[in-house]
């Protein structure tokens, strides 16, 4: 009987020890799993889309999510940039053709050709040096072929006016580049100020200062400044380049005018149908 009682006591002690070990094991398991579960939940919460943030933070996504005023600024700056490159292409081709024709006319004048022959060769042409030559021919016709000091002054005045008109013609549209280069950064800054204002309004409505809430609005605002600089910098560079090219073209026209005045000073006259005044 005593032996049976001792056996039961040993079994109860063993059962208590087993239960204690099992409880310790469960506590350790829960303690190790809890941080992992919390980390997984936080990651899942972070991966969940926030309705306050745009789904796409690429430039196009920010444009689509931007305010209507910011969108209008971006579109305007994009059109200004397109106009800049269009003017550059058109004026580059126009000036290249004009300078090529002017140099060819200069070679004709420097070859020693008679002024009457130069006028005949330029009949019907509309390039700048041809207009200078035809202007001299028109003044000689109106002066009955008389070459004197008054004739030279009238020819110089005509050449100056024609030269200025030709330079104005090739300079058309270049002023737009100066306007774009001067105003595009400020237009972009206006879009930035408007976007940041909307971002602060969003912070006030969301009742949070979380950076993840305000960052997309600020990024959209700064995108307008970036587009403004993209429009302004090429406009300024292209304007300066075209200004130098136009200055070179004007120099060619000035040389052509000087060559015509030299030909007049040497006593050249137009056709034989314009006789010398009786002495």
Residue 98 to residue 170: CA distance in whole angstroms: 9
Residue 102 to residue 97: CA distance in whole angstroms: 9
Residues 154-181 have pLDDT tens digits of 888 888 898 888 999 898 889 999 999 9
The model's pTM: 0.67
Do 125 and 166 form a contact (C-beta atoms < 8 A)?
A: no
Q: What is the pLDDT of residue 236?
A: 94
Residue linked to tokens 């993840």: 212
Joined together, the tokens standing for residue 30 give 């829960």
Residue 74 to residue 78: CA distance in whole angstroms: 6
Do 116 and 140 form a contact (C-beta atoms < 8 A)?
A: no
Q: What is the pLDDT of residue 87?
A: 94
Q: Is the dihedral of CA 265, 267, 268, 272 positive or negative?
A: positive
Joined together, the tokens standing for residue 172 give 């058309």
Domain-wise residue ranges, the chain? 1-47, 59-265
Q: What is the pLDDT of residue 267?
A: 61
Q: What is the pLDDT of residue 194?
A: 84
Q: Which of 46-60, 87-101, 204-218, 219-233 has the lowest mean pLDDT?
A: 46-60
Q: Which pairs count as long-range contacts for 213-219, CB under 8 Å and 24+ apart, including other chains?
A: 213/50, 213/52, 213/53, 216/53, 216/54, 216/57, 216/62, 216/65, 219/57, 219/62
Q: Which of 23-32, 204-213, 218-227, 262-271 has the lowest mean pLDDT?
A: 23-32
> Is the pLDDT score of 279 beyond 50?
no
Q: What is the pLDDT of residue 90?
A: 94
Q: Which of 22-36, 72-86, 87-101 has the lowest mean pLDDT?
A: 22-36
Non-local CB neighbours of 224 within 8 Å, separated by 6+ positions = 70, 73, 74, 77, 188, 190, 191, 192, 195
> Is the pLDDT score of 106 beyond 80?
yes
Q: Which of 48-52, 128-132, 239-243 has the lowest mean pLDDT?
A: 48-52
Average pLDDT over residues 106-116: 75
Average pLDDT of the chain?
Answer: 74
Q: What is the pLDDT of residue 278?
A: 36
3-state secondary structure 240-258: HHHHHHHHHHHHHHHHHHH
């Amino acid at each position: 009987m005593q032996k049976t009682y001792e056996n039961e006591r040993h079994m109860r002690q063993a059962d208590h020890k087993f239960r204690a070990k099992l409880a310790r094991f469960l506590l350790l398991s829960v303690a190790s799993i809890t941080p992992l579960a919390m980390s997984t939940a936080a990651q899942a919460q972070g991966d969940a889309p926030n309705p306050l943030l745009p789904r796409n933070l690429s430039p196009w996504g920010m444009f689509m999510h931007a305010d209507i005023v910011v969108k209008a600024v971006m579109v305007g700056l994009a059109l200004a940039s397109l106009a800049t490159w269009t003017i550059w292409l058109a004026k580059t081709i126009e000036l290249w053709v004009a300078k090529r024709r002017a140099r060819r006319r200069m070679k004709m004048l420097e070859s020693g050709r008679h002024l009457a022959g130069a006028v005949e060769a330029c009949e019907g042409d509309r390039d700048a040096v041809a207009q200078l030559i035809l202007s001299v021919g028109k003044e000689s016709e109106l002066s009955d072929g008389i070459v004197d000091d008054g004739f030279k002054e009238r020819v110089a005045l005509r050449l100056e006016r024609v030269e200025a008109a030709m330079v104005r013609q090739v300079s058309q549209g270049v002023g737009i580049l100066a306007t774009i280069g001067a105003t595009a950064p400020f237009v972009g800054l206006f879009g930035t100020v408007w976007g940041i204002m909307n971002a602060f309004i969003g912070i006030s409505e969301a009742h949070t200062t979380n950076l993840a809430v305000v960052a997309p609005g600020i990024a959209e605002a700064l995108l307008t400044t970036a587009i403004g600089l993209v429009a302004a910098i090429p406009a300024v560079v292209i304007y300066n380049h075209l200004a130098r090219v136009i200055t070179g073209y004007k120099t060619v026209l000035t040389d052509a005018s000087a060559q015509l005045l030299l030909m007049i000073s040497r006593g050249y006259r137009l056709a034989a149908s314009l006789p010398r005044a009786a002495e």
